[in-house]
A and B are shown apart, each in its own frame.
Chain A
Amino acid sequence: MEDIRETIKKELVVKEAITSEDVKFFKQFLAITEKGKVIVKADRAKATYTDLILLYLVGTKLAHMAGLRETPHSSLEELAKSLSIAPNAVAARVNECVDRGEVERKQRGEYEATVGGITSLKERLTRLTQASGHA
């Protein structure tokens, strides 16, 4: 029993944490000001609304981890305003992300990127950069 437990952990269990590698990866798409403001640098011509929203939520999470922001989540209003996306489009895309498990709904209409969301965003952005050289 002990053996199979270890094998499962070794072969199947994914760490639910953001790594230094993730931070280095997102550096090309994100910046965070000293006051904790998230700046999305992805090319709007190539990134989808979902990419921009997930990037912003990842930035929020990283800003919180760096101690630059009180919470690791953002509201729909903040997303719409910061990304210049129509509020109903933000709501629709965020709901789809919640359904896919990429984003978690917190209290009072706040949303946080999940580790699964970060992984799938990395995959999407990697495909995008491979196709074009840079997103």
Chain B
Amino acid sequence: MPRRKDQMMFKKAELRKIFRKKISFLKKLFRVAGDGEVFLLYNYPPRDDLMFLTFFIAKMYLYVERHSETPSISDDELRIFSTIWPNADEYLMKYMDASERFIVYTLRGYSLNPLPEKVNEVMEFLEKDLELIVG
């Protein structure tokens, strides 16, 4: 029986593979500065729920690439989100919905669901819905 830490390391390696496979897509969505600050590279207010979700993906990316200690977004950070995206609470509710489970509660706040199949699903979701915008 593997220990919990080993299991987490295994999951992190698996997630890293997923992120690296999708890196060209992700590079179109966000950039990260040396200090770990995230910059979104697109702005489409009618679908700012996608921008909101992209931020969670970027945080998970930083975590799996060992640039950050946590993939979580704290309550304080979320409050800042609300000033950028007035509907942030509704987006959080949507992506945490039992039928979606793209975002989950963590000890430090909220994070992208770390299950590899969910991370894949989120990427697919984002690709598909961004296609609708780009046409």
Contacts and interface: CB of A to CB of B under 8 A. Distances in A.
Contact of A86 (B46, B93, B100, B128): B128
A96 to B, nearest CB: 6
Interface residues of B, number: 21
A96 B101 CA distance: 13
A45 interface: yes
A4 interface: no
A89 B118 CA distance: 11
Interface string A64-86: 00000000000000000000111
Contacts of B46: 45
Interface in A86-135: 86, 88-89, 92-93, 96, 128, 131-132
B131 A48 contact: no
B100 A49 contact: yes
A50 B99 CA distance: 7
A128 B132 CA distance: 23
A92 B120 CA distance: 13
Contact of A84 (B48, B97, B128): B128
Nearest to B132: A84
B135 to A, nearest CB: 11
Contacts of A47: 94
24 contacts: A44-B129, A45-B46, A45-B47, A45-B49, A45-B87, A46-B87, A46-B90, A48-B99, A48-B100, A49-B99, A49-B100, A50-B97, A50-B99, A50-B100, A84-B128, A84-B131, A84-B132, A85-B128, A86-B128, A89-B128, A92-B121, A93-B99, A131-B89, A132-B87
Interface of B: 46-50, 87, 89-91, 93-94, 97, 99-100, 121, 124-125, 128-129, 131-132
